[in-house]
Structure 1
Amino acid sequence: MSLKENMEAVREELNSEEKFFESAIRTERFVKKYQKPLIAVVVTSLLAVGGAIGYQAYTQAKIESSNAAFNLLLANPADTKAEQTLKNDNPDLYDVWKLSRGISQNDVSILEGLKNSKSFGVADIASYEAAAIKGDVQSLDQYTKKQGALYKDMALLELAVNALEKGDVKTANEKLSLISAESPLNQVSGALAHYGVK
């Protein structure tokens, strides 16, 4: 290598080192200038991650607690401590448990208490079951007119049977005709219409 080539290589190294130091100085100035906002962003990110982890742990603990309480209530329905735990930790599951108790015991008072439940389907099923247990034809008829009623076809079938027991064939036919062809109860309503009404 010649002296000229050596000088060019040294010059290139110095230029690259100079550029490196320039970028380091720019970075240092940027960090000093925006130090507080950068720290705020890092702290906020850490707090958000910590909060999310904490919330997830809290939610998981509530789920485990409510499941344990539910299992205790299945074994011993009179366990008031487990009932209160379930009510506080998982109100939806509590309403479902109360609904199952009301239906299994034919307890209209429990079912009436669930008519305003926010849990999916609980209020609807409680309304139907309370009317069916009481044999309240008017409530069953009102239930069939509710949009999205889960047991609409069952209520129509019960109304038809009630009408047949009273000898009102016309009303029974009207109620049976309201049961849709896609309903699982369509065959039952057809048989009842054939053998009971005609």
Structure 2
Amino acid sequence: MNTEEQFLENFIKGERFIRKYKLYLVSFVIIFVLWLIVSFVMDTIKESNVRESNEIYANLLVKNDDKILLDKLKNKNLNLYAIFLMQKLTQNPTNTQILQELNALSENEKIEPLFRNIIALANNDKSIFLKDYAKILEAYVLLEQKKIEEANVLLAQIKSNTPLEKIAKNLKHYQGISQ
């Protein structure tokens, strides 16, 4: 068999393969092209929303009391809205209206978990964010009151992979609590 015959044979095999799987190949190409188009459109929309949210936030920094801009930001980007409220809260820590709004936001599922923890800290709630730190402070108070057993229980709850582990071990050691 010479090369022309081999080429012709391979061409016929390829043609049969394409004819047999034509529907699958065309479907795959169409789905891939649609996926590319949808992902491009979604990225463009997301980028536009971020840009618009940032513009609204920048305008709010200039005009603090603009209710229309505040509502726009709340509808566009709840996380940025929470940051703005936190900033206003630092300027006026006794403002109960802002605290109530932040408390309502902390229960919203659209808010990032990190912001929920930060909001919980602003409301003086217990936060997972500083859970181990709070345990160390509680244990220290218990150690000052000579309640060594209770402090030992709290210090034992601090996981070994946290940065506060050394502090917990030191508190156990200096108060005569052995591991």
TM-score range, shorter chain: 0.5 to 0.7
1:123 aligned partner? 119
- Counterpart of 2:103, as a letter, is K
* Separation (CA, whole Å) in 2 of partners of 1:85 and 1:50: 29
- Counterpart of 1:127, as a letter, is N
Unaligned runs of 5+ in 2: 146-150, 152-162, 165-179
1:36 aligned partner? 23
TM-score under structure 2 length normalisation: 0.63
Unaligned runs of 5+ in 1: 1-11, 129-142, 157-169, 184-198
What displacement does 1:19 show?
0.6
1:59 aligned partner? 46
1:21-56, Cα deviation, whole Å (9 max, x unpaired): 111111111111111111000000111111111111
Q: Percent identity, aligned pairs only?
A: 24
Q: Does 1:114 align with 2:106?
A: no
1:104 aligned partner? 91
What displacement does 1:125 show?
3.1
TM-score under structure 1 length normalisation: 0.57
Sort the Cα spacing of 1:146 and 1:65 in 2 relative to 1 into closer, same or farther, 3 A: closer
Kept in 2: contact 1:99–1:122 (CA 8 A)? no
- Counterpart of 1:85, as a letter, is K
- Structure whose alpha-carbon radius of gyration is higher: 1
Give RMSD over aligned pairs: 3.0
1:106-153, Cα deviation, whole Å (9 max, x unpaired): 31221122124144233223313xxxxxxxxxxxxxx4x655448x78
1:192 aligned partner? none
Kept in 2: contact 1:73–1:83 (CA 8 A)? yes
1:90-113, Cα deviation, whole Å (9 max, x unpaired): 111101101211331231221122
